[in-house]
Structure 1
Amino acid sequence: MSEAAFLRALVVHPEPLVGRAMAQFLRLQAGVEVADFVRTLAEAAQHLRQAGAPAVVLVHEQLLTPNADALARDVRPLALGSRFLLLVDSTLNQASGNCQARRLARQVQLDGVVFGDQPLAALAQAVGAAVKRPTQDARTNASVPPEDGRPESFTPRQHQVLELLLQGHSNKLIARQLNITESTVKEYVSALLKKFDVKRRAELMAHLQQL
């Protein structure tokens, strides 16, 4: 049995569709027995009081920007034994984005950074790595590298396509609603297949229906 088996994880993300996708993927790819999702730090605190501390807590950067102290004040005391990872969206200036992410991680004393320009499967690797190594100061902790360096984060358009797929729309109907060509829709669907690490649309739909 792997070290990642029977882990619990908590994803704290402001976008429900993305947060649930991450939680689902952790269950499927990382051997995580229970992966829960909440939208805010307040909901995270309430969840931790009820369910106890998980092995790993993944927190989106957007939730820390307005009030970084809320994490230390309301969440960390309820999960003293947990590893905390910072979820960072892709940026056009990756070097600048990396520096800002590490600065934020240092500020709130997190154990690592997971960048959005990598496939969701890399989350499983990040969780496994965080659990296997002891907690360390974020100043010395390297970010989790992308599997192949491709920009595979959820773009606003991919998010729109994902939501329409969940509603059961065909490529033709999606193209009509978004005012784009059907071939462009196929490109977005192809990118989503890579994001979810599946090869066929039917597999993608099966994943989405479980979110």
Structure 2
Amino acid sequence: MTGPTVGGKIRVLVVDDHPVLRSGLEQLVAGAADMEVVGSAADGAEALEKVHETTPDVVLMDLQMPHVDGVSATRSILAETSGTQVLVLTSFSDGERIVAALDAGAVGYLLKDADPDDVLDGIRAVSRGESPIHPRAARELLGARVGQGPPAGSVQLTPREIDVLTLVRQGLANKQIARRLGITERTVKAHLTSAFARIGVRDRTQAAIWVERNL
């Protein structure tokens, strides 16, 4: 799990291609007593460079940017670094973009119309190892599908999501799943967030029931 050291601050990198919005986000984060802005970037390629230079705890990542978009940048950051988590902050709440971001490894998904305090709380949640998702984005993913979720034939899970869900069904905790699969807890959480959205469940118990009946 990432997060600030004892007595330290959450180190945040702000990534957005709109200068005014980027500046506003920097000021918002810098104004929080428990956070500090370690840098900013205008596109995904610059974000990757800044991550290598500054090693932030959390990257606040826009999705639609020139040159290298947020999804590609997220995938590269998580493949090339450790100890950094990505929280998406975007205008888009369509399911396809949300799933793409989560598949790339983002652990949270917020929308730009969120209250400033919700953005700060989202950064804090990510640094604690949680996966905040804006309610509207969650509704887009889950819709009316709860409980057992859709049948397996209508769901497209990745092989790794199937591995993780199978181990959830066996009662393993995230740390145990990470050890069993040779991946990080952060990656396990990202796979669970994505898989829960795909199969239409909200917690591990519902996921275990769905796995038992469909896999």
The TM tier, using the shorter chain, reads 0.5 to 0.7
* Gaps in structure 2 of 5+ consecutive residues: 130-184, 198-215
Query: Which amino acid in the other structure matches residue 124 of structure 1?
Result: L
Aligned to 1:89: 91
Aligned to 1:109: 105
Aligned to 1:32: 35
Aligned to 1:158: none
Offset of residue 32 of structure 1: 0.8
Aligned to 1:79: 81
Q: Deviations over 1:160-189 (max 9, x none)?
A: xxxxxxxxxxxxxxxxxxxxxxxxxxxxxx
- RMSD, aligned α-carbons: 3.2
Contact conserved, 2:39 with 2:50, CA < 8 A, in 1?
A: no
Identical positions, percent: 19
Aligned to 1:99: 95
Aligned to 1:175: none
* Gaps in structure 1 of 5+ consecutive residues: 91-96, 144-211
Offset of residue 78 of structure 1: 4.2
Of 56, 59, 64, 1:57 maps to: 59
CA distance in 1, matches of 2:26, 2:7: 15
Q: Deviations over 1:105-164 (max 9, x none)?
A: 233121010112212221110010001126211552799xxxxxxxxxxxxxxxxxxxxx
Query: Which amino acid in the other structure matches residue 20 of structure 1?
Result: S
- Seen in structure 2, the aligned counterparts of structure 1 residues 70 and 102 have a Cα distance that, compared at 3 Å, is closer
CA distance in 1, matches of 2:82, 2:66: 18
Q: Secondary structure at 1:29's aligned position in 2?
A: coil
Aligned to 1:21: 24
Offset of residue 30 of structure 1: 5.4
- Seen in structure 2, the aligned counterparts of structure 1 residues 15 and 138 have a Cα distance that, compared at 3 Å, is farther
Q: Could you state the TM-score of these two structures normalised by the residue count of structure 2?
A: 0.53
Query: Which amino acid in the other structure matches residue 8 of structure 1?
Result: R
Aligned to 2:14: 11
CA distance in 1, matches of 2:21, 2:14: 10
Q: Deviations over 1:60-110 (max 9, x none)?
A: 11039965445423x3344321111111216xxxxxx25234212233121
CA distance in 1, matches of 2:112, 2:83: 25
Q: Could you state the TM-score of these two structures normalised by the residue count of structure 1?
A: 0.54
Contact conserved, 2:74 with 2:106, CA < 8 A, in 1?
A: no
- Seen in structure 2, the aligned counterparts of structure 1 residues 11 and 70 have a Cα distance that, compared at 3 Å, is closer
Query: Which amino acid in the other structure matches residue 121 of structure 1?
Result: D
